[in-house]
Amino acid sequence: MAHILIIALIVTIPFSSLAKEQLSKSFLELFNNGGRIEVIDYLSKNMSQSRIQAYGIDAHVGVFLNEQNTYGSLKLLDTLPDENHSERLLVTSENNQLTYTLLINRERNEPFGINYFTLQDSKSEAGLIENLSKQQLQTELASFLGQLEKKDAFSGTVLVAKGKDVYFENAYGLANKRWKVKNALNTRFSLGSINKMFTAIAALQLIEKGKLNFDDKLVNFVDKSWLPSGDVDKITVRHLLTHTSGLGNFFNEEFNKSNKELYRNLEQYKPLIANTPLLFSPGVRNRYSNSGMLMLGLVIQKVSGMPYYDYIQKNIYDRAKMENSGSFELDSSTPNLATGYLRRMHSDDWASSTYTRAVKGSPAGGGFSTVSDLHRFAIELTNYKLLGKDLTEQAYSAKTEYNSAFWYGYGFSVGGEPNNRVVGHGGAYLGVDARVDIHLDTGYIVVILANQSNVVAPVRRKINELLSKLD
């Protein structure tokens, strides 16, 4: 899957008067050699006002700095033909030695600014051994991750298994940079949106027991004061599961300005959700919705008669023997919690993301787990221990018939090829990057957890390339 980096820039000289070589050179020069002050100055002067107003200059500078840290310098290999108002360059990342197509998309009209750029995965890397043995995979992956750690381009834990057989498992970087505490295999990492799988399974368990139905209306379980105006009476459980409810994202400006210590139970999110407009009539299309998953958590509370967190603990974590998982509060004394880190506009040093996050995770994400616990979760899931076969397989098949995205089922991402289906979920937030991939046809399970922004994609790509060559 393409790893997308989005930056909105406008250069001071109209692109119509710039040769492509000059544009490419100036863009790569900034990415390869621009320090924090230079990046701030350049983006502040050249970004479109609409982007600054929508996201703020600090967010764009942060994205740029984190991608510089992850990929290092980009070596130009070739200039490719333009495509759909986009210039394309073939480049290699200094940090991971993988090849990417750098795509620079421009506005169609003056001032012909850069809308965004993306680093798309390119061809397989030359020199990769065919028919790798298990030991060779371990050696290759250890070397790759070790190099990233040396460049400060990965901090986290990685597990690769086939069923219960663990092929590779190791930890890299620091769980706490201030106190120089190393990450370990029992380090608990924030999962971001990976928790959506647990919320979806919980709802499907209640459906399996006959206590809930896909077509039940949300307003049957929550007061309408929770919801914005519009066609909210039409929202069903299925809409919440498939991101087709029209509910938006509570991670908005109001959340950013709020006291993050407030969010210790679901009720504290009510103003955020009620004040976010309905984006479209339920069921007509899809848009990824954190608010929708949080509302599904409220449905689970109402139907089960248990607090959401207690239900997940009893029916997911305990059943899967996930002993190190939970929605731990960030200001608690819970041991082995990794602190998240990212590059920010205000400092040349790493910044902790603790104060940017809700103090406790929600049905939409933000819980904690370890690579071993998530490995156990994948095994129990695919052995139908958490949910019967019918609903489990419904969960990880795409729901385009309900206008869901082609890559999404019921709380699970869906991808891969016909003979190598891959399901699971990713999670990303400030100082958080995580991925669970379950290869249904080959039995491989891959878990990557990181306490550093935007670092999982190269690791995931390398693992997939190695697995494709495994004998």
**CATH value at residue 73:** 3.10.450
For residue 10, pLDDT beyond 50? no
Assess whether 315 and 415 both reside in one domain: yes
In the listed set 65, 90, 121, which residue is the last one of a domain according to the structure? 121
pLDDT (mean) for 83-99: 93
Residue partners of 255: CB distance under 8 A and separation at least 6: 272
Assess whether 87 and 235 both reside in one domain: no
The answer to the question of residue 178 being in a domain is no
Residue 20's pLDDT is: 56
The answer to the question of residue 161 being in a domain is no
Assess whether 456 and 365 both reside in one domain: yes
The answer to the question of residue 140 being in a domain is no
Q: What is the DSSP letter of 270?
A: H
Written as six digits, the tokens of 6 are 């989005």
Q: What is the pLDDT of residues 199-239, one digit of tens each?
A: 999 999 999 999 999 999 999 999 999 999 999 999 999 99
Per the listing, tokens 């999110």 go with: 269
Beta carbons of 451 and 340 less than 8 angstroms apart: yes
Task: Show the domain range for 28.
Answer: 15-121
Assess whether 285 and 425 both reside in one domain: yes
Assess whether 249 and 367 both reside in one domain: yes
The answer to the question of residue 237 being in a domain is yes
Beta carbons of 122 and 154 less than 8 angstroms apart: no
Residue 114's pLDDT is: 72
The answer to the question of residue 69 being in a domain is yes
Assess whether 220 and 304 both reside in one domain: yes
Residue 16's pLDDT is: 42
Q: What is the pLDDT of residues 332-366, one digit of tens each?
A: 999 999 999 999 999 999 999 999 999 999 999 99
Assess whether 87 and 224 both reside in one domain: no
CATH number reported for the structural domain that contains residue 442 in this entry: 3.40.710.10
Assess whether 211 and 296 both reside in one domain: yes
Beta carbons of 69 and 343 less than 8 angstroms apart: yes
| Radius of gyration of the CA atoms of the chain, in A | 22
Residue 124's pLDDT is: 58
In the listed set 103, 121, 139, which residue is the last one of a domain according to the structure? 121
Domain count, the chain: 2
Written as six digits, the tokens of 141 are 């992956």
The answer to the question of residue 173 being in a domain is no
Residue 352's pLDDT is: 97
Residue 172's pLDDT is: 99
Assess whether 259 and 397 both reside in one domain: yes
Share of the chain above pLDDT 90, in %: 82
For residue 268, pLDDT beyond 60? yes
Maximum alpha-carbon separation in the chain: 66
Provide the mean pLDDT of the chain: 92
Assess whether 317 and 439 both reside in one domain: yes
Assess whether 203 and 95 both reside in one domain: no
Residue 21's pLDDT is: 61
Residue 5's pLDDT is: 43
In the listed set 88, 121, 154, which residue is the last one of a domain according to the structure? 121
The answer to the question of residue 129 being in a domain is no
The answer to the question of residue 75 being in a domain is yes
Angle between helices 20-33 and 36-46 (to 10 degrees): 140
Assess whether 116 and 203 both reside in one domain: no
For residue 405, pLDDT beyond 80? yes
Scored b (16 or more CB within 10 A) or e, 274-298 reads: eebebbbebbeebeebbbbbbbbbb
